[in-house]
Amino acid sequence: MNSPLQPLFAARLERLRTHMAATGLDAALISAPEHLRYLFNYSGEAAFGIVGARTSSLVTDYRFIEQAEEECVHHPWRQGVTTEALCRDRQRERLGQTLGRVLAELGARAVGYEAAHVSVAQWADISADLTGLALRPLADVLVQARCVKDAWEQQQIAKAAALGDAALAALRPSIRLGVTERELANRLERLLQELGSEGLSFPTILGFGPRSALPHSAPSGRTLQRGDLIVLDYGAVVNGYRSDMTRSHVAGRAQPWQQRMHDTVARAQQAALALLQPGISGRALDVASAAVLAASEFAAHAGPGLGHGVGLILHEQPFLNGDCEALLQAGEIVTIEPGLYIRGQGGVRIEDDALLLDSGHQILTQAHRDFELAL
């Protein structure tokens, strides 16, 4: 089997194997859905991956075995480095027994596992069947690897972002006085679907008026009134990769305080974007953006944090906040999303997805930023 994506998947596995060799691990048990996708191209459920020094296996059951066999096509099948999908008979074998059998075939003794992606109860069950092995939490090598997107990943996120842009343009006629948050969110989600998004990047956040001040407002029956602030935060999915964008509007003409609020957030975003390039820390970006908010009349209403990486999952490393000392790298894709939230009155947030280039960055989300909507 050959696939143009094989070299990408091979490189991902190689990076994990290099880490395993360096830390004395003979095998790694993979359970995070995003890592099953990242390493095996598997998008189903109920699976564990086992990566050994030369071979890898995906253990699932009858419900997902065909899907596993179909999706693992991007895997490197060169001689001696094979991938197999294994179907566990759940009536006959506990999961820990199956994993133990594969690990024994590998001759593995030191085994890493994803402590952040297996529950206390499930790990107690599994590890009871893995006697005689040295089980150690795997460091965050895959989380770190996923920060920098390869060219194919960049394309998928760029496509998702463009899909989100197109959906917002098509949504414009539906933004009218009297529409409910729920109706508008439904319409947007339908547009995303029609345009080809695989689903929603996350449940749409949409708030009118005072509800726009809720950072994670679920769409309600609230109708749009003239003068309302509108916050709309949503994303598309392409081949498992997500986009994440927020636009803020006012229904009709902005009152002076609303305009100043919007301008303040826009300047806070610009302050971060002006610095966004490889070598800067997430903390420095956060400081620059937060300083704009803090110097404004709205200082008491600033939301914490500036943004996050986005990829196979919505919120991933790097997290752009005061704790982020890591220096950003070319190929990372991050959101830049400062916001102001006045409880009982309304909120403004502007969020874009930016790809870090070797020098500077490129904004992937290009939907219009007009604040006032003529209604």
Q: Which residues of the chain form contacts with a copy of itself (CB under 8 A)?
A: 43-45, 62-64, 66-67, 90-91, 113, 115-124, 137, 186, 189-190, 193-194, 199, 203, 214-218, 303-304, 322, 343
Q: Which residue has the tokens 């539906």?
A: 174
CA atoms within 13 A on the CB side of 225: 10
Query: Is the Cβ of residue 90 or residue 226 nearer to a copy of itself in the bound state?
Result: 90
Residue labelled with tokens 């989300």: 365
Nearer to a copy of itself, 57 or 204 (CB): 204
User: Is the dihedral angle over the CA atoms 31, 37, 39, 41 positive or is it negative?
Assistant: positive
Which of these, 164, 179, 166, 161, lies nearest to 373 by C-alpha position? Answer: 179
Query: What b/e string do you get for 313-341 counting C-beta neighbours within 10 Å, with b at 16 or more?
Result: bbebbbbbbeebebebebbbbbbbbbbbb
Give the nearest distance from C-beta 279 to a copy of itself in angstroms.
Answer: 25
Nearer to a copy of itself, 104 or 124 (CB): 124
| CB 349, min distance to a copy of itself, A | 12
Distance (Å) of CA 246 to CA 266, 324, 350: 12, 23, 5
Nearer to a copy of itself, 62 or 257 (CB): 62
Contact by Cβ (8 Å): 124, 327: no
**Which CB sits closer to a copy of itself, 23 or 43?**
43
Least distance between a copy of itself and beta carbon 193 (Å): 5
* Residue 53 vs residues 75, 108, 137, 139: alpha-carbon distances, Å: 15, 9, 17, 17
Smallest distance, a copy of itself to C-beta of residue 63, A: 5
For the bound state, the minimum distance from the C-beta of residue 115 to a copy of itself, rounded and expressed in Å, comes to: 4
Q: Nearer Cβ to a copy of itself, position 237 or 271? A: 237
From the CB of 126, what's the least distance to a copy of itself, in Å? Answer: 11
